[in-house]
Amino acid sequence: MQIKCNVLDRQFQMYQSEYEQAALRVLRSGWYVLGREVEQFEQEFAAFAGRRYCVGLNSGLDALIMSVRALEIGKGDEVIVQANTYIATVLGITENDAVPVFVEPDEYYNMNADKIEQAITDRTKAVMVTHLYGQASNMAPIVEIARKYRLAVIEDCAQSHGACFDGKMTGTFGISGCFSFYPTKNLGAFGDAGAVVTDDGEFAEKIRMMRNYGSRIKYHNEIEGVNSRLDEMQAALLRVKLAHLRELNDERKMLAKRYDEGITNPRIMLPKLREGAESIYHQYVVRCAGRNALQEMLEQRGIQTQIHYPIPPHMAKCYVHLGHKKGEYPIAESYADQVLSLPIYTGMTLAEQDYVIEQINSWDADENG
Ligand SMILES: *Cc1c(COP(=O)(O)O)cnc(C)c1O
């Protein structure tokens, strides 16, 4: 059996006629960038996320970069970020010439709230929290610390569309919830797309101006903007998928539960869910010593897996100039050596999943190094 990490055509086939209708509607409309579909999607996604405003953008990275910029965080400022996040979170900071200050993750792969205070200096302006792999972070203490030190909270929700903590949606804890709709995300478009959600009208307006060359009125450029517009095609297709997102997330939760119950190999550490946290299982990430051998064995048996992420940002080549050393963030570094993301996707069959479970359970780490 051949099993890929991501199988994107199955989610298309599931609602094929709805997607095709939406695409035709856009093609025939004669209007392709920032129009009615984008407005409708923004309203629908704001309602889904439980926020007053949504601004559709080109990508999740843009949502992060523009949020930091709109908060006027720049040169000399510091932003706290978890050491095991995706590079894009950190790029959102460094693109603005601000300095990322890393803190170690907790056992749920999210930011360890107990380690934030010791990372705060008089230059700290914000905490950027990633709800990694789809699990909502421990937001109550983070919000409290941010309030105490007057820091902005920016949430990277690129992997957590619809995940709640204590019933409160990720993306509603800070001033800005940053979403990516890259095709593999739980709410994925058919190309690049992203959005910011917020309750702050002024902040929303600034992002809205910024995405379109810094203008509210055409050719009246009030701030130095960028081109980060969401197009009508992606918005129309996202509207279709958003209407089904709850059931799509439920399917992943069901698959995650089957992995939880099915994987019995004692060498494999299964993902844990914090009390009060929900995960939409953007990734199902296990951990073990001998991870590379496990990955190789699975590959030989036709099962593709991924590593999120093999190099923590502080060790990335692009950040050598930040001067970090190996060993500085041992937990993030050990996760990078041990995590493995198993196949989980919309339309994964139980037979496919059972095959993955079987192969993992048959793995003898001693024998295979
Ligand atoms: C995907 C992702 C991003 C970036 O989103 P793009 O739309 O690809 O720019 C940012 N942060 C995290 C955690 C992601 O998973």
Say yes or no to pLDDT of 236 above 80. Answer: yes
CA of 265 to the centre of ligand 1 (A): 32
User: Alpha-carbon Rg of the chain, whole angstroms?
Assistant: 21
- Mean pLDDT for the chain overall: 97
pTM, two decimals, is 0.97
Closest CA to 228 of 208, 248, 244: 208
Q: d(Cα 330, Cα 9) in Å, to the nearest integer?
A: 39
Kindly give the number of the ligand 1 atom that is closest to the alpha carbon of 92: 10
Q: d(Cα 312, Cα 176) in Å, to the nearest integer?
A: 24
Residue 112 pairs with which residues in a beta bridge? Answer: none
Say yes or no to pLDDT of 116 above 80. Answer: yes
Say yes or no to pLDDT of 267 above 80. Answer: yes
Question: Which protein residue has the closest C-alpha to ligand 1 atom 5?
Answer: 60
Say yes or no to pLDDT of 8 above 90. Answer: yes
Percent of the chain whose predicted confidence (pLDDT) is above 90 = 97
Kindly give the number of the ligand 1 atom that is closest to the alpha carbon of 62: 9
- Residue type for position 241: K
Reported for 6-13, long-range contacts at CB under 8 A and 24+ positions apart, including other chains, are: 6/184, 6/343, 6/345, 7/345, 7/346, 7/347, 7/348, 8/183, 8/184, 8/188, 8/345, 10/345, 10/346, 10/347, 10/348, 11/188, 11/241, 11/248, 11/345, 11/346, 11/347, 12/190, 13/347
Say yes or no to pLDDT of 266 above 70. Answer: yes
Q: d(Cα 36, Cα 354) in Å, to the nearest integer?
A: 44
Q: d(Cα 70, Cα 128) in Å, to the nearest integer?
A: 14
**Low-confidence winner among 51-60, 174-183, 270-279, 360-369 (lowest mean pLDDT):** 360-369
Kindly give the number of the ligand 1 atom that is closest to the alpha carbon of 63: 9
CA of 60 to the centre of ligand 1 (A): 5
Say yes or no to pLDDT of 368 above 60. Answer: no
Per-residue model confidence (pLDDT) at position 365: 62
Say yes or no to pLDDT of 338 above 90. Answer: yes
- Could you check whether the bond before residue 309 is cis, i.e. omega within 30 degrees of 0? yes
Pocket lined around ligand 1, Cβ cut-off 6 Å:
59-61, 85-86, 88-89, 130, 156, 158-159, 180, 182, 192, 194
Question: To test the ligand 1 pocket, which listed residue (95, 159, 238, 307) has its Cβ within 8 A of the most ligand atoms?
Answer: 159
Per-residue model confidence (pLDDT) at position 369: 47
Going by pLDDT thresholds of 50, 70 and 90, the confidence category of residue 366 is: low
Q: What is the mean pLDDT of residues 39-66?
A: 98
CA of 189 to the centre of ligand 1 (A): 13
92 in Cβ contact with 65 (< 8 Å): yes
Question: To test the ligand 1 pocket, which listed residue (86, 170, 196) has its Cβ within 8 A of the most ligand atoms?
Answer: 86
Q: Torsions phi, psi of 343, nearest 5?
A: -60, 130
C-beta atoms surrounding 274 within 10 Å: 16
Sign of CA pseudo-dihedral 150, 82, 323, 87: negative
Per-residue model confidence (pLDDT) at position 334: 98
Going by pLDDT thresholds of 50, 70 and 90, the confidence category of residue 131 is: very high
Going by pLDDT thresholds of 50, 70 and 90, the confidence category of residue 300 is: very high
Q: Torsions phi, psi of 287, nearest 5?
A: -135, 145
Per-residue model confidence (pLDDT) at position 364: 87
Q: What is the mean pLDDT of residues 116-123?
A: 98
pLDDT in tens, 141-176: 999 999 999 999 999 999 999 999 999 999 999 999
Kindly give the number of the ligand 1 atom that is closest to the alpha carbon of 159: 15
Q: Torsions phi, psi of 281, nearest 5?
A: 45, 55
CA of 275 to the centre of ligand 1 (A): 26
Per-residue model confidence (pLDDT) at position 103: 98
80's tokens: 């706290």
